[in-house]
Structure formats: C-alpha cells, structure tokens
Homo-oligomer: A and B are copies of this chain.
Amino acid sequence: MSFTPTQKRILKAFKDLLIENGYRNATTHKIAESAQVNETTIFRNFKDKRGLLQATIDQYLADIDRLKQEQKDTGNLEKDLTAMADKYQKFVFDHQAIFMVGLRESFSLPEVNKDVEKIPIHFKSLLVSYLKKMQEKRLISQDLDIEMLAMNFVWLNFGFFLTQSRFTSSFLNITHEEFLAKNIRSFVKELKY
C-alpha cells in the first residue's frame, strides 16, 4: 500500500479520469498524458488497467475501515449529526472516483458496486444506533420511525452530493457548509419532543 512518486501521479491521473469518464472510458493513453509518464510505465507499474482499479479499491477499503473506527458522540444532537454528515460527505468526496464508478458501472463492475454500497449501509446503521441510543437517553421523541428517519438522512445526503457533483446550476446548489447548517437543523427539529 505504499507507492512511489510515479505511481502516485499515475493513480491521481487515473482517479481524475474515473470521475470524468468512468473506468471503461478512462484510456491508458489519457492517463499517461495526464500523469506525464509514458504509457508503458503504467503497465510496468500496475501490470494492466485492472491493476490500477484494484490499487484504487484497496486504498478505498483501507480507508473505510478507518472510518468505521472513529466515532465520538457528545449527546448534542445537532453537533453529532452534523459531524456524521460531514464525515460521510467528506469521505465520499475523497473517494469520489471509486464512488462514481460503483454507481455508473454497477452492471459491468458489480464488485465495485458492492464495495461502494458499503458506505450508505454503514452510514445508515451508524445513524440507527445513534438515534436508538438517544431515545434510550430520552433525548428525542419516543414515537419515531427510526429506520425511516435514518434512511431519510442517507438519501438527503446522497442526493445533495450527487446534485453538487453532477449539476452546475446555481439554482440547485448551495455550499457544503450551508447544507450542513440548515438541513441538519431542520432534521433535528423532527426528532425533538
């Protein structure tokens, strides 16, 4: 999992092209051009194009494990939920390349799709267990459909992220900070007694 400077440049170029064109349409020619290396250097370092994808997935999976470790609740709803949403959004942003591939090439690369699916699944279970704990502590209303609220929050974040990343209209887009501040406050309102 440690890479030479050349390998890092190649992987960076590869990821940029994944975001724009997806795996199948990211040509080794363009990767080489963007990384400013000779095309053959790619094959010598990563064996084949699949090797590039595998290296990217390996980085991603290692990072998911790290994400699952850290977790600290304060009991302050707005603060905790903001932190969770922020963490989730930042993670998806950092791994945008593999995330987009998992979405758009879900049919041709089902393994990648399975790996990407792990994010919303983890995010949802994180939310469910957090909300249940808050219910036990009597900090939020007792008659809430927690499963639904958690999914609601996941969909909202997912929808926001994709709108930001795929649409340019300012009519649809706000800043990450504004999203966190306003939308989470409104979500928290739903939870209170």
Chain A: number of interface residues, binned into ranges: 35 or more
- For A154, list chain B residues within 8 Å (CB): 159, 163, 172
Is A3 an interface residue when CB atoms closer than 8 A count as contact? no
Complex Cα–Cα for A149 and B189 (A): 13
Chain B minimum-CB-distance residue to A20: B107
Q: How far is the CA of A172 from the CA of B25 in the complex (A)?
A: 29
Asked whether A55 is an interface residue with its Cβ less than 8 Å from the other chain, the reply is: no
- By beta carbon, the residue of chain B nearest A107 is B20
The answer to whether the Cβ of A82 comes within 8 Å of any Cβ in the partner chain is: no
Tell me which of B21, B24, B190 contacts A107 (CB under 8 A): B21
Is A174 interfacial (CB-CB < 8 Å)?
yes
Tell me if A167 and B113 are in contact (CB < 8 A): yes
A45 at the interface (CB under 8 A from B): no
- CA of A113 to CA of B163, assembled, Å: 11
Whether a CB of chain B sits under 8 angstroms from the CB of A68 is no
Other-chain contact of A183, B24, B120, B152, B172 (Cβ < 8 Å) = B152
A140-169 toward B: CB 8 Å interface, digit per residue (1/0)?
Answer: 000001001101101111111011001111
Instruction: Assess whether A48 is interfacial by the CB under 8 Å rule.
Output: no
A interface vs B, CB < 8 Å?
20-22, 24-25, 100, 103-104, 106-108, 113, 117, 120-121, 124-125, 145, 148-149, 151-152, 154-160, 162-163, 166-169, 171-172, 174, 182-183, 186, 189-190
Query: Could you list some 11 contacts between A and B, CB below 8 A?
Result: A20-B107, A22-B104, A25-B108, A103-B166, A117-B169, A121-B171, A124-B171, A152-B186, A155-B160, A156-B159, A190-B190
